Structure 1
Amino acid sequence: MDLLDWHRDRLSARRLTVLVRQLPHDSALNRELHGEAADWSVTDHLLAAAVDHLAAANWMFASVNSEEGDQPDPPAPVPRPSYGEETDKETPAQGSEPEAEEPAPSTVQLARFFG
């Protein structure tokens, strides 16, 4: 397809819009617009979430079964591509309170949860 057809009135603006919107996720345009995020599929996100959950479960198990002074550090999540959410978190909307981080559960709370 020749994009000059749009200027020659052989390709409508609607058809061009449909073609651009239906480009595959790994197309050059999507990579230019979204960067690394274009390479991540739903499967990749689900695998990263599964790894994070397994690491958290292993950390909880190790925290419950270790001495009070010998607690392991919490696991770091799998790095994911940025989608512009970091800028949203840094500048809260007008009139809204910034979200406070929840403290990590204590070993007593973890032991009570896992019974």
Structure 2
Amino acid sequence: MDLLDYHRGTLSARRVRVLVQHLPRDSAFVQELQGEEAQWGLGEHLMASAVDQLAIGNWLFTAAHTAEHDTVPDPPVPLPRPGMDEDPEEDPVTDGTDIAAFFSGL
């Protein structure tokens, strides 16, 4: 497709707009406008979320089965995502003492 066809009168402005709106996210134009956020689609975000949830579940299992005199492992760090801060704010995940208190009361 030759964009000079717009100036020649054989390509309408509507067609140019539709072509630009439906560019793939890996195109140079979209990369320039959106930066690295354009590299991640819904599938990538869902996969990263699933990996984070699996890591939290494994950590919770390990923390709950750690002996009382052993130190609880550090909580997992979420996968970095484009557009998110490098230093996330305080994570609401417990340090393991709440889990140990819960299971010791059973």
Q: TM > 0.5 between the two? A: yes
Q: Is the 8 A contact 1:37 1:81 kept in 2?
A: yes
What does residue range 1-115 of structure 1 map to in structure 2 within 5 Å?
A: 1-66=1-66, 67=68, 70-82=71-83, 86=85, 101=90, 103-105=92-94, 107-111=96-100, 112=102
Q: Cα distance, 1:50 vs. partner? A: 1.0
Unmatched runs of 5 consecutive residues or more in structure 1: 87-99
Q: What CA distance in whole angstroms lies between the structure 1 residues aligned with 2:8 and 2:69?
A: 75
Q: Is the 8 A contact 1:64 1:107 kept in 2?
A: yes
Q: Cα distance, 1:42 vs. partner? A: 2.3
Q: What CA distance in whole angstroms lies between the structure 2 residues aligned with 1:107 and 1:68?
A: 13
Give the TM-score normalised by structure 2.
Answer: 0.71
Q: Cα distance, 1:20 vs. partner? A: 0.5
Q: What CA distance in whole angstroms lies between the structure 1 residues aligned with 2:8 and 2:18?
A: 18
Unmatched runs of 5 consecutive residues or more in structure 2: none
Q: What CA distance in whole angstroms lies between the structure 2 residues aligned with 1:47 and 1:60?
A: 20
Instruction: Name the aligned partner's letter for residue 82 of structure 2.
Output: P
User: How big is the alpha-carbon RMSD for the aligned residues of Structure 1 and Structure 2?
Assistant: 2.7
Q: Is the 8 A contact 2:63 2:72 kept in 1?
A: yes
Instruction: Name the aligned partner's letter for residue 41 of structure 2.
Output: S
Give the TM-score normalised by structure 1.
Answer: 0.66
Question: Percent identity, aligned pairs only?
Answer: 51
Residue 97 of structure 1: aligned partner: none
Count of residues paired in the alignment = 99
Residue 93 of structure 1: aligned partner: none
Q: Cα distance, 1:36 vs. partner? A: 2.5
Deviations 1:58-100 (A, max 9, x none): 1112222223661211111111111xx65xxxxxxxxxxxxx9
**SS in structure 2 of the partner of residue 71 of structure 1:** coil
Q: Given the superposition, is the C-alpha separation of residues 102 and 74 from structure 1 closer, same or farther in structure 2, using an over 3 Å criterion? A: closer
